[in-house]
Structure 1
Amino acid sequence: MEHGTENNRNAARISIESIVDGKRIDDHIFGHFLESAFFQNIEGGVFDEGSALSDSGDTPLNGCRLDVIEACRELGLPIVRWPGGNFTSPYRWMDGVGPRDERPRTLELAWGSEESNRFGTAEFLAWCDAVGTTPYLGHSGRSVDDAVRWVEYTNYAGDTTMTRQRKADGIPEPRPVKYWGIGNEVWGPWQMGQRSAAQYVIDAREHARFMRLVDGDIKLIAVGWEKESWLEEVVPALGGIIDYFSIHLYGVSLHRMQPTEAEFDRIVAQPMYFEQTLQDASEVISRLLAENHITRRVGIAMDEWNIRHLEPASWPEPLPGDDGGVAPREIEAPDAPTAASGVQVNRYSQRTLADALFYAGVFHVLHRTSQLDVPVTMANTVNLVNANGLISVRPNGLVRAATFHVWDLYQNRMGRRPVDVRLDSPASTVELRLGAEILRASGAARTRPAMMSYLDVTATLSDDDRFLQIAVINRSARDAITAQLGLGGISASQATMSQIGAGVDDLFAWNSFDAPDTISLSAPITVDISAGTHEFPAHSITLLEIAL
């Protein structure tokens, strides 16, 4: 990529090179995540017993919000991970089976709350069927027998105590769950069952062996980490038996304190950190597989990712507001966090226009990393419902966040056959944040100087060879950029265009119940490209679809 300068922001070139003779982009990169006992993901989100908006039938779907199911069907959910997250580590799945009123109410140690267990495995599987998604269950990896019995409960067709329980819970036939996680971030001291890489390898191998004795077709996700020292131990030992290594990545937004153009730049640049980290992890895994003569095809599952909205810990605890965002509270004047004050994550801060461009940038990264030797073939954003999710749910209804429309664009309006694109774009320097870690000494994020291209582009071809889709992000906060379009010999005078963010003045605008369409995907219109150029508005995402 050739970078320009601040002085030629309106000069760029997008050149279609060729159809990549490589891997298809996997649908599962558009995956999602739900965590029990986590800021109304489940109770008060997908599940709200007694609500007039919830199912009242005599099935495990009873209590599930029908408006949430409808919105999820509208979008389409390829895969959903549950029950966590950190919640996975202490979770006992059998607490969530049997008659709801007889299930134990337990102290939940991951987030320090209480878990009713009224939404358990049968409810999750029924909900997955209702929305038309693939379930991905995460097990603690702390008990082989517990994991085996869970696979037996969901997948086994015989007549055992576990299968009888499943039938009694309202799932009469096996509901084979294909994707199973073995542990969650077990390298972290916040996990129940933290262990070394060497111990995790022993545990994971035993789990994999016996879980597959119940169902040999299941796919297993092992705990990975971007740290090379961890991968060097787990990849040689597990690469021949598992299907994915997980990587968890988060970005950081300080816009609640600093709603500035400079902060916007720092937000929209962070997919660059994701890309470098995923490329590095893929290279390490590929090298270790080759060195150990392992030929099994494995992928990377970025099965947790998002951007966290941070604010000073001295501010009052954020609570859900009736407008779909944060409830009103008295706070100090916006300011940067300090080492003394610390920070907190605002779990009810709605997704903004800046976030929409960040998410779009991550999808561009996932398109490109789908072609690596060890590709990214699954990604699950944290979260689907509430807690900074795609859908903000309140007792009286729901609102689709800005990011809901980003998913709609990339998942539903682009193909899965990647096209090779060359981009020449103006650029500027930015302090690139390197993950969500906040340094205790300074109260600031880790950063390094980087060159950020204002435009970012990805392209795909439809399966029937009839349409070329080109998605372009303009990361400039204030300037439109005109790009020459080199279509690689394709003769086209017009394209169908849809956009997100064009014409929105506030860089941190968000969708509320009163203004649910502030940031949305525009209806497609026909635009003239006969001159071989197109202007991409400031702070926007544009999809051009060209008939071939």
Structure 2
Amino acid sequence: MTIDPAFRIGPADRRLFGSFVEHMGRCVYGGVFEPDHPAADPLGLRTDVLDLTRELGVSVVRYPGGNFVSGYRWEDGVGPVADRPRRLDLAWKTIETNRFGLDEFMAWARLADVEPMMAVNLGTRGVQEACDLLEYTNHPGGTQLSDLRRRHGAEQPYGVRLWCLGNELDGPWQVGHKTADEYGRLAAETARAMKLIDPSISLVACGSSNRDMPTFAAWEATVLEHTYQHVDYISLHNYYDPSDGDRASLLASAVGMDAFINEVIATADHVGAKLRQPRKLKLSFDEWNVWYQARLQADLDRRGWVQAPALIEDDFTSVDAVVVGDLLITLLRHADRVGVACQAQLANVIAPIRTRNGGPAWRQSIFHPFALTARYARGTVLRTEPTGPTYDTAKYGPAPVLATVAVLDEESDELTVFAVNRGDTDLALDLDLRALTGRAGSGATTAGPTGLGHLVLDAGADPDATNTAEHPDRVVPRELETPTVDGGRCAVRLPAVSWNVLRFAGRP
């Protein structure tokens, strides 16, 4: 693989390292919020989860859903807690107490140092309710709703910049499911009205709920015919399911993500050309993860209406962690068009962070590739075109064994290469770094880059290993021998079924 700083894709937007907090299962109650927990702060927020969120490197968090938002009344979650109603949540068949709402989320986001990404309900509600929510959150004061926020203790506006125009309204499971024409017209009307209130906001139109939807691509085309001039992003959602036991296909999940992204780009660009719009629309991949989806219906069927039940609290394996690292590589490879990405979800619900009510919080295996990518993928994403073997998969056909991306931080003059070996044997990787010779942030010349370290998370020895409260560090990255660069070339070995971080410094 050859790396050249001239082959640029685009900046590694910090919004690519987003997460998702939905009122689903124990993501909120027992996850980020548990007033009776020993580690809870005066607001009821779990400080151990806050610490792990900051360590994870999360940049933006989408809230309050997800399916939940399509039946949600935002007014239920503001003001005195004692006055808030208890309601049935039709999305997840639970009782919502509304002890945690908009004001609490904004307080949590500030403490977690994340940017809030709000979703509005376009399932059971519409233009006026979305405008009311925006006025409450972003208008400085002097109106009924902005002054209501101030009476609730938030003198300054929350200043939310990112807004989702509903959620998965192409899905028949969604409360308020709509046709593409119905949703597109409503989203366009809502977008126009919201930007009259605050022209600085960015809006995300709903794309398909997943790539396998029967309306995929036709949905995007119709929705964008209505909304292209009014929105800034089109959303993508997709989960990658290990339940069928086809490990070869699971390890190639990023092949499917890559195709999905390219197909949505093609559809958006077609509509843009048809409408004579020179602006290229960005993508918001605001739900993605590994998810054992077959378990969800069993979770829903075995109980009645309860508060914050455990839902899809998947225990992620070392193989799952390699897949998550590979999906992050794919998002970075599309940094020129994917501007936002949110791993779903943050705590307990198919999450990198797990907790016990009243007990500990710990890092799942998938925590580590996310945290390290968020830490080291800073700067400019470089295009890499590796050559190497392929292997056969049932779902994607022949797939490359090797997946890579490189990120150059020109401020520190450091290069990071992220690489996945999807194969079941070790892989020798030859890196040509000669184009980096002579680079130095100070303007001085160098003899070439030098190795800084090689981190690996590999699943070859124990593919089913997981982290638990009792054994929270069973699956963690480990250091391998520091790469050696000789004459601008570097030879490294990637263990079988592994995700790797190779770091180099421009100064010797």
TM-score, scaled relative to structure 1: 0.83
Is the contact made by 2:76 and 2:84 (CA closer than 8 Å) also made in structure 1?
Answer: yes
2:22 counterpart residue number: 35
Q: Distance in 2 between matches of 1:80 and 1:122?
A: 15
The reply to whether residue 356 of structure 1 matches residue 299 of structure 2 is no
Look up the SS of the partner of 1:302 in the other structure.
strand
Q: Which runs of 5+ in 1 are unaligned?
A: 1-13, 57-61, 320-325, 328-345, 433-448
CA deviation vs aligned residue, 1:30-55 (integer Å, no higher than 9, x gap)? 1110111x110000100012222111
**Compared CA separation, residues 216 and 317, structure 1 to 2 (3 A):** closer
The reply to whether residue 429 of structure 1 matches residue 375 of structure 2 is no
Equivalences for residues 23-422 of structure 1 within 5 A:
23-36=10-23, 38-56=24-42, 62-141=43-122, 142-225=125-208, 227-254=216-243, 258=245, 263-311=246-294, 347-371=312-336, 375-394=337-356, 395-422=358-385
CA deviation vs aligned residue, 1:192-242 (integer Å, no higher than 9, x gap)? 221122121221122112212221111111111251211221212211110
Is the contact made by 1:504 and 1:518 (CA closer than 8 Å) also made in structure 2?
Answer: no
Is the contact made by 1:415 and 1:463 (CA closer than 8 Å) also made in structure 2?
Answer: no
Query: Which structure has more strand as a fraction of its residues?
Result: 1
CA deviation vs aligned residue, 1:325-353 (integer Å, no higher than 9, x gap)? x99xxxxxxxxxxxxxxxxxx71221211
Is the contact made by 1:16 and 1:487 (CA closer than 8 Å) also made in structure 2?
Answer: yes
**Compared CA separation, residues 123 and 312, structure 1 to 2 (3 A):** closer
Look up the SS of the partner of 2:374 in the other structure.
helix
Equivalences for residues 461-540 of structure 1 within 5 A:
461-464=408-411, 466-477=413-424, 479-489=425-435, 490=437, 492=448, 494-502=450-458, 505-522=461-478, 526-530=482-486, 532-540=490-498
**Compared CA separation, residues 161 and 316, structure 1 to 2 (3 A):** closer
**Compared CA separation, residues 314 and 117, structure 1 to 2 (3 A):** closer
CA deviation vs aligned residue, 1:347-401 (integer Å, no higher than 9, x gap)? 1221211111111111111122223xxx111111111111110100112110011
2:501 counterpart residue number: 543
Q: Distance in 2 between matches of 1:189 and 1:222?
A: 18
Aligned length, in residue pairs:
479
Q: Distance in 2 between matches of 1:214 and 1:239?
A: 19
CA deviation vs aligned residue, 1:281-331 (integer Å, no higher than 9, x gap)? 101111210121113342111111112214578978899xxxxxx99xxxx
Is the contact made by 1:248 and 1:304 (CA closer than 8 Å) also made in structure 2?
Answer: yes
Q: CA deviation at 1:111?
A: 0.8
Q: Distance in 2 between matches of 1:138 and 1:467?
A: 37
Q: Distance in 1 between matches of 2:103 and 2:186?
A: 27
The residue type paired with residue 96 of structure 2 is E
Report the identity percentage: 29
Q: Distance in 2 between matches of 1:403 and 1:504?
A: 16
Look up the SS of the partner of 1:110 in the other structure.
coil
TM-score, scaled relative to structure 2: 0.89
Look up the SS of the partner of 2:431 in the other structure.
strand
Is the contact made by 1:318 and 1:348 (CA closer than 8 Å) also made in structure 2?
Answer: no
The residue type paired with residue 15 of structure 2 is H
Q: Distance in 2 between matches of 1:316 and 1:183?
A: 25
Look up the SS of the partner of 2:339 in the other structure.
strand
Is the contact made by 2:347 and 2:354 (CA closer than 8 Å) also made in structure 1?
Answer: yes
1:332 counterpart residue number: none
Look up the SS of the partner of 1:164 in the other structure.
helix
